[in-house]
Structure 1
Amino acid sequence: MSPLPPVKMSVPGAALSEKHDGGSQSEEAERSEIERTGESFAHLNEKAILRKMDIRLIPMLALLYLLSFLDRGNIGNAKIEGLQEDLGLTDDQYNWCLTAFFFTYAAFEVPSNLMLKKIRPSIWLPAIMVAWGVVMTLMGIVHNFTGLLTARIFLGVTEAGLFPGVAYYLTNWYKREEMQLRQAMFFSAASIAGAFSGLLAFAIGKMDGVGGLHGWQWIFILEGIATVLVAVLAFFTLHDFPETATFLTEEERALVVFRLKYQGQSKRNDHAMVAQADDFKWKYVRQAFLDWQIWVNIFVYWGIVCPLYGISLFLPTIIRTLGYESSTAQLMTVPIYITAAILAVIVAYFSDRVGRRSPFIIVPLLIMVVGFSMCIASGNPRVVYGGVFIAACAIYPAFPGVIAWLSNNLAGSLKRSVGMAVQIGVGNLGGAMASNFYRAKDAPRYRLGHGLELGFIGAGIVASLILLVGYSTANKKRARKMEDGDLGRYTQQKLSEKGDKAITFRYVY
């Protein structure tokens, strides 16, 4: 699980990740050892350990992602502060600057997650953060289309590793039934970033003329400097993996590791618990690229991320074209994002509580349909604002769900790392598409943009239903095989290597 040498733990069974030795120890003896290990942790307060992890991990991760989302989306705020006019950009050139970011952002996500397996998170994540903070600062001194386009391309390269890296990083600490709430707490920073961005842009825009710079230049410069400063702090505050967590006792570290290795097994066959594979083998990378569920999940991801980027990149512009002043438009984005952040955490709590993902994705997708339909159907500014409000309040709760859903159903840390990077990398090409949905010539109704969002949402609903049926069918087949005694055909090592394809593994749906 960790690139670092594991801490030696005296708790029985802490080293149960060792491969099956081909017969020197019987299956029955190994299962008994697992059961004894589980019992040795009975005196520990698991909820208290989770609270310690939440306090030490989530706030810093949320701050990192807040700055990431702030820095990639603040170009929308800069636009209505005069960026396009001052640089002499055509509408097509501006959209190219938005689009170019996502090509490099998508291309570098899988390599970044592979690097995360080799380099400690406390080094890799702050390092890429320093890099994009420098790029963001330099974006404040560009003078033309070429400069802005180049900066956006490099911003995509440097930011690529943060979100898939943190999404995977959390799976090395929390069990799958605990994941969505933590993903939501971390991702809700994006909602806060949206609100914060509007407030910051409103305040920084007043600096127009200071130092001979425009207000939009100060937006990039100050937010870039803030990113670098937080990155320096992150070098000293981020923890790597449970095996080396100094805020946990030796027994607590052993329990966290044990919980993660034996998750995802059939509740009716606890005696058949199988450790997830943690070693680096290229076959696990290949399996990730060939797994059907990842590619179907990407369509669900697009159904959420296209509206997400449509909202984050164009919301100030959409509101301004309804007849409001720039400063008012900036402030009117704030209540939308605050409400969306609160709802994301509430929905995630109930999703984890009931142990299901699909209902908490499909229902928000249907609500998005209502919101964007309101935007298309009416030219009344209040109705359009209400439609965007409703859509955003469904988008932000759904996004952590689609990330948690796939991570729950990929077993083996390397396959999960690569699979999540593929999902987020290819999925974020939806951002490249959404960057071109809202054309200036379509203002103020933006019917084409809203219509395209509805098309992707519809595809997301269909893909969600395909996954739901596929997972349910696979679980039933595996249950029948277990009842027929097929488990005896496999060694513990073979089951571990098969990961989420093992008959003992159960998909979450």
Structure 2
Amino acid sequence: MTSSIEKDVQVDSVPNRSEDEGQVEYFVDPEEEKKVVRKIDLYVMPALVIVFFFQFLDKQTINYAAVFGMQTDLHLSGSGFSWAITLYYFGQLASQYPSAYFISRFKVVRIVGITIAAWGACEMLIASTQNFGGLGTVRFFLGWFEGAASPGFVIITSNWYRRREHPARVAWWESCSGLSQIIGAVLMYLIGQANHLAIASWRVMYLVCGGATMLIGVCFAIFMPTDTTTAWFLKPDERRIATERLALDRSTRDRSSFNLEQVKEALMDPQTFLLFLEGLFICIPSAILKFSSLVISGFGFNKFQTMLVGLPAGAIQIITIWVAALGMQYTRDLRCFWGMVLSLAPLAGSICLLTLPASDKWGIVVATWFAACSSSLMVVSLSLAASNVKGNTKKSTVSAIFFVAYCTGCIISPQLWQAPDAPRYVKGCISSIVSWALLIITYAAHYLVLWRENVRRDRLQLENQLRENAEGVDIPEKEAHVGVSIDSDMTDRQDMKFRYTL
């Protein structure tokens, strides 16, 4: 049955279909579009930012708990802490296939809201654990429920925004990685100062963060509209504009169907392989985010000093994220270039962390700040995925594959940062340096693959236009306004008028 909101969109939208199957002419007034985008920014972006903030805050908690007695209280000896981190990503890896299926089969907003609420519940359960077995089990299921969140956010962003808008919008919610580092450290510092708590301060931190995340997840699932056609904060005509402007970008809306052919196309697409490598190389060095507090404390800082001197790391994350976002927004087809440039910051930090003398404590601290600033690279790769992959099932499949690589990198990473190697963690530093160098090469390859495909499509389009002119076929005067029907489910490979963002 068609909802009343969908009826409004269908009645108000009367596109002129071209002779090409699936091609539709849309006319969206730029001033009206700006007003609609402002409304979407006002209602959709805060919801995404708040949810992602609490998710990142939860992820950071184990970093702070490590220096506030968790390892002693739970009897984590040897590699116990490293395995506690790794088990989280085993859970996330195991959930990628079912997450991809459910995201493509049901409304992505509902799936994300439910899993975020379940994530918060697991976070609270960590406060009750008494040994490695309990901690490892809960962290596995914590990773399982996180599996749908990040791929879901990529899809939600592409369901509301045009491709040129993706970098800045991805940056808004990805900035929460840095913001959570700052607020999380301050919160742990304040909780740690309390002297008369009935339970350990790190357990209180988990209860506070997990409870807030659970509440936010429930609210997101209930109040967040599924797409532009069900946006309760837009008037019927605004919903039409919000929907048609995506069609101008040759985008299609969220569908509740699973297409096996699109899965096959995703697996055969070289872009999928390149995104996989990017996810892997970004995340192999990721353990520094979880071990930075241990690294800093290992060079003579007490637990309260460790919380404070780690604060600038969050600020650097935010700055580099916005350098990436604004750089991609105000330069044309240079997203891969920005990825290469921004890889230099964590590469330099990792080299300094490996080579600076142990007596240079503040040099080591600054090195950890830069070695951990990888979120800007997630913005680059996620914006490439959001802008360049079309087709409901293909989009969810490629997102899942990217996060399989993400999980794989995060599984490998903690095993390279073992307690016997503290505080220098030589193996972890060397692996990070190699990963950043390989990431730069991968971005260059990604650019070349997409550039060659765009050139090929331009050549084919020119040949078709010359043939049509020779045959006396009229070329539409308003070709710039031609999009693909928002109800179609064409992939980027099927839609030959689609051009990839580089």
Corresponding position: 1:333 with 2:333: no
Listed as ranges, the matches of 1:114-129 within 5 Å are 114-129=101-116
Distance in 1, matches of 2:254 and 2:40, equals 23
Q: 1:28 to 1:236 in 2, by over 3 A?
A: closer
**Counterpart residue number, 2:461:** 482
Shift of 1:93: 1.8
Query: Relative to 1, partners in 2 of residues 1:501 and 1:376: Cα closer, same or farther, differing over 3 Å?
Result: farther
Post-superposition offset of 1:119: 3.4
Shift of 1:434: 1.5
Q: Secondary structure at the match of 2:501?
A: coil
Aligned to 1:21: none
Instruction: Give the AA of the match of 1:295.
Output: F
Task: State whether residues 228 and 243 of structure 2, in contact with CA within 8 Å, keep that contact through their aligned partners in structure 1.
Answer: yes
Instruction: Provide the residue aligned with 1:348 in structure 2.
Output: 325
Question: Cα distance, 1:281 vs. partner?
Answer: 2.1
1:305·1:399 contact (CA, 8 Å) conserved in 2? no
> Which of 298, 301, 304 in structure 2 is aligned with 1:321?
298
From 370, 374, 378, give the equivalent of 1:390: 370
Q: Distance in 1 between matches of 2:59 and 2:379?
A: 19
User: Does 2:290 align with 1:310?
Assistant: no
Q: 2:56 aligned with 1:69, yes or no?
A: yes
Give the deviation of 1:275 after TM superposition: 6.8
1:270 corresponding residue in structure 2: none
Deviates more, 1:499-508 or 1:415-424: 499-508
Letter of the 2:83 partner, please give it.
Answer: W
Q: Aligned partners of 1:430 and 1:331: how far apart in 2?
A: 28
Distance in 2 (CA, whole Å) between partners of 1:117 and 1:72 is 26
Partner of 1:98: 85
1:241 aligns to 2:242 (yes or no): no
Q: Deviations over 1:57-107 (max 9, x none)?
A: 111211111111221231121111111112111121221111011011122
Partner of 1:375: 353
Find the aligned partners of 1:126 and 1:496 in 2 and give their Cα distance: 25
1:260 aligns with 2:252: no
Counterpart in the other structure of 2:478: none
What is residue 22 of structure 1 aligned with on the other side? none
Aligned counterparts of 1:148 and 1:116: Cα–Cα separation in 2: 28
Measured after TM superposition, the shift of residue 5 of structure 1 is 8.1
- Partners of 2:467 and 2:393 lie apart in 1 by 27
Residue matched to 1:449: 428
- Residue identity opposite 1:8 in structure 2: D
Q: Residue in 1 aligned with 2:6? A: 6
Quote the residue 1:505 is aligned against. 498
Asked if structure 2 preserves the Cα contact closer than 8 Å seen for 1:175 and 1:260, the reply is yes
Contact residue 278 and residue 439 of structure 2 kept, 8 A: yes
Counting only pairs closer than 5 Å after superposition, residues 11-50 of structure 1 correspond to structure 2 as 11-13=12-14, 27=19, 34-35=24-25, 37-38=26-27, 41-42=28-29, 44-50=31-37
Cα deviation digits, residues 289-345 of structure 1 (max 9, x gap): 3322112222122222233x3232111111111211111111112121023213312
Q: Distance in 1 between matches of 2:235 and 2:389?
A: 29
Distance 2:323 2:77 in 1: 42
Whichever residue aligns with residue 202 of structure 2, its letter is: W
Contact 2:56 2:177 in 1 (8 A): yes
With over 3 angstroms needed to count, the CA separation of the structure-2 counterparts of 1:430 and 1:488, relative to structure 1, is farther
Give the structure 1 partner of residue 389 of structure 2: 410
Structure 2 portions without partners, runs of 5+: 469-483
Identity %: 23
Deviations 1:225-268 (A, max 9, x none): 1222222333443222000102122222222222223325xxxx
Q: Which has the larger displacement, 108-117 or 61-70? A: 108-117
- One-letter amino acid of the structure 1 residue matched with residue 224 of structure 2: L
Return the offset for 1:112.
2.1
CA distance in 1, matches of 2:466, 2:136: 56
SS class of match (1:500): coil
CA distance in 1 between counterparts of 2:205 and 2:254 reads 46
Q: What is the distance in 2 between the residues matched to 1:338 and 1:117?
A: 36
Measure how far apart 1:426 and its partner are.
2.6
Paired residue secondary structure (1:322): coil
1:144: which partner in 2? 131
CA 1:327–1:116 in structure 2 vs 1: closer, same or farther (change >3 Å)?
same
Q: Residues 357-388 of structure 1: CA distance to partner in whole angstroms, max 9, x if unpaired?
A: 11110101123221211111112222222222
> Which secondary structure does the structure 1 equivalent of 2:448 belong to?
helix
Match for 2:404 among 406, 425, 442?
A: 425
What TM-score do the two structures reach when normalised by structure 2?
0.88
AA of the residue aligned to 1:351: M
Alignment of 1:291 onto 2:292? no
SS at match of 2:275: helix
Query: Could you say what the CA RMSD is over the residues aligned between the two structures, in angstroms?
Result: 2.8
Q: Report deviation, 1:488.
A: 8.2
The two structures have a TM-score, normalised by structure 1, of: 0.87
Residue 210, structure 1, aligned to residue 197, structure 2: yes
Given candidates 432, 435, 439, the residue that maps to 2:418 is: 439
CA distance in 2, matches of 1:66, 1:99: 22
Q: Which amino acid aligns with 2:283?
A: V
SS of equivalent residue, structure 1 residue 289? helix
CA distance in 2, matches of 1:484, 1:404: 31
Give the corresponding residue for 1:222: 208
Unaligned stretches of 5+ residues in structure 1: 17-24, 265-273
Shift of 1:30: 8.1
Number of residue pairs aligned between Structure 1 and Structure 2: 479
Structure 1 pair 364–480 and aligned structure 2 pair: CA distance change class (3 A): same
Distance 1:422 1:122 in 2: 20
Taking the aligned partners of 2:337 and 2:128, their CA distance within structure 1 comes to 47
How far the C-alpha of 1:29 sits from its partner, in A, is: 11
The answer on whether the counterparts of 2:170 and 2:379 sit within 8 Å (CA) in structure 1 is yes
Give the AA of the match of 1:47: K
Change (3 A) 1:6 1:182: same
Contact 1:91 1:440 in 2 (8 A): yes
Kindly tell me: are residues 486 and 501 of structure 1, through their superposed partners in 2, closer, same or farther at Cα, counting changes over 3 Å? farther
Contact 1:500–1:506 (8 Å) recurs in 2:
no
3-state DSSP of counterpart to 2:415: coil
Alpha-carbon distance in 2 for matches of 1:4, 1:287: 35
Letter in 1 for 2:493: D
Q: CA deviation at 1:180?
A: 1.1
In 2, the alpha carbon distance for the partners of 1:123 and 1:203 equals: 35
Measure how far apart 1:44 and its partner are. Answer: 4.4
Aligned equivalent of 1:468: 447
Task: Give the counterpart letter for 2:44 in structure 1.
Answer: L
Greater shift in the superposed pair: 152-161 or 64-73:
64-73
